[in-house]
Amino acid sequence: MRLLLIEDDATAAAYLVKGLRESGHLVDHAGDGEDGLTLALGGAYDAAVVDRMLPRMDGLSVVNRLRDAGNQTPVLFLSALGEVDDKVRGLKAGGDDYLAKPFAFTELLARLEVLVRRHSPAAVQTRLAVGDLELDLLSRTATRNGQRIDLQPREFLLLEYMMRHAGHVVTRTMLLENVWEYHFDPQTNVIDVHMSRLRAKIDKNFEQPLLHTVRGAGYSLRAAS
């Protein structure tokens, strides 16, 4: 799933982003309501997790604006305001579900999966394919031309990100932020090392290479036209 998290508490946000990414999902994060609304309106998300109490624009207003714009992205409100009236206000504002803090991460994940299934069952991707390379997101397995490819967890996330952006140039910054969760350049060759290992696994012994280095820009995963 591609998820949007709008949460101003840095500790809570880091915990959620880490857990969701480790569960195999792509996550964008905004630390205030206005930035969250901008991301929500500009991206195709499977679901959004929105805190009620946010700087610059509260969560209810974010979702109201989202619905007024015709955006029907499923929204799970996450808030310390857990009284029945608070939940009713959240649902009336356009939220699809409401989870009070503190919460169990497994419950949040299950609620998100239910929301996505309920709102867009046909849109939930369980398999990605580029040429003869396939990635099964449920079994967490990769194959090329029917041959199983053994991937380490980080390699799987890296390949999933590349496949979701197939045909486009993916920059080092994009990889650092979305696969390694770094928001700074660690000044290491970690990307080069992992890309080299991934290329050896998905391209070695195959006539047509899929993973390409774009000099001075980044990498691109694409099948032959």
- Bond before 102 cis per omega within 30 degrees: yes
- CA-closest candidate to residue 203, choices 189, 215, 219, 190: 219
As annotated, the residues of the chain forming the CATH 1.10.10.10 domain(s) are 127-221
Q: 45-78, pLDDT tens digit by residue?
A: 999 999 999 999 999 999 999 999 999 999 999 9
Contact 41, 69 (CB under 8 A): yes
Cα–Cα dist 220/145, whole Å? 20
Residue 66 phi/psi, 5-degree rounding, is: -60, -45
The one-character DSSP state at 205 is T
DSSP, collapsed to helix, strand or coil, labels residue 91 as helix
Helical pair 33-42 and 59-68, crossing angle rounded to 10 deg: 30
In CATH terms, the fold of domain 127-221 is: Arc Repressor Mutant, subunit A (1.10.10)
State the Rg of the chain over Cα: 19
Q: 88-135, pLDDT tens digit by residue?
A: 999 999 999 999 999 999 999 999 999 988 876 554 568 899 999 999
Q: Could you tell me how far CA 168 lies from the centroid of its own chain?
A: 17
As annotated, the residues of the chain forming the CATH 3.40.50.2300 domain(s) are 2-119
2-119 CATH choice from 3.30.930.10, 3.40.50.2300, 3.60.9.10, 3.40.718.10:
3.40.50.2300
Q: How far is CA 170 from CA 30, 190, 192, in A?
A: 21, 15, 13
Cα–Cα dist 29/109, whole Å? 16
Q: 162-210, pLDDT tens digit by residue?
A: 999 999 999 999 999 889 988 777 888 999 999 999 999 999 889 899 9
Cα–Cα dist 145/126, whole Å? 18
